[in-house]
Amino acid sequence: MTQAVEAAASRAVPSGAAVRLDGVSKAFGSLPALDDVSLRVEPGEFVCLLGASGCGKSTLLNLVAALDRPSAGTIDTAGRRVALMFQEPALFPWLTVTANIELALKTRGVPRAERRARSAELLASVHLAGFEKKRPHQLSGGMRQRVALARALALTIDTEGTGTLLLMDEPFGALDAMTRDLLHDELERIWRERNLSVLFVTHNVREAVRLGDRVVLLSSRPGRVVEEFPVPMDRPRRIDSTEVAALAATITDRLREEVGRHGA
Ligand SMILES: Nc1ncnc2c1ncn2[C@@H]1O[C@H](COP(=O)(O)OP(=O)(O)O)[C@@H](O)[C@H]1O
Ligand SMILES: [Mg+2]
Partners of 12 in the β-ladder:
none
Smallest CA separation from ligand 1 atom 18, residue: 58
Q: How would you write the pLDDT of the chain (264 residues) with one tens digit per residue?
A: 455 545 444 444 445 899 999 999 999 998 999 999 999 999 999 999 999 888 899 999 999 999 999 999 999 988 888 888 888 778 999 999 999 999 999 988 899 999 999 999 999 988 899 999 999 999 988 889 889 999 988 888 876 666 789 999 999 987 888 888 988 998 999 899 888 999 999 999 999 999 999 999 998 878 889 999 999 999 999 999 999 999 999 999 998 888 777 655
Size (the chain), residues: 264
Decide whether any atom of ligand 1 lies within 6 Å of the 65 Cβ. Answer: no
Give me ligand 2 centre to Cα 56, in Å: 7
Decide whether any atom of ligand 1 lies within 6 Å of the 55 Cβ. Answer: yes
Domain spanning 5-92+162-262: CATH superfamily: P-loop containing nucleotide triphosphate hydrolases (3.40.50.300)
Q: How far apart are CA 26 and CA 32, in angstroms?
A: 6
* Nearest ligand to the CA atom of 51: 1
How do the domains of the chain map onto residue ranges? 5-92+162-262
Give me ligand 1 centre to Cα 122, in Å: 32
Phi, psi for 197 (deg, rounded to 5)? -100, 130
Contacts made by residues 125-129, CB under 8 angstroms, sequence distance 24+: 125/150, 125/153, 125/186, 125/189, 125/190, 126/150, 126/183, 126/186, 127/182, 128/97
Which of 55, 59, 262 is the best mutation target for the ligand 1 pocket, counting ligand atoms within 8 Å of the beta carbon and taking the most?
A: 59
Q: Helix 97-107 to helix 141-154 angle, to the nearest 10 degrees?
A: 20
- Residue 236, preceding peptide bond in cis (omega within 30° of 0): yes
Helical spans, DSSP H, in the chain: 3-11, 57-64, 97-107, 112-125, 141-154, 177-194, 205-211, 242-262
The end-to-end CA distance of the chain, in Å, is: 49
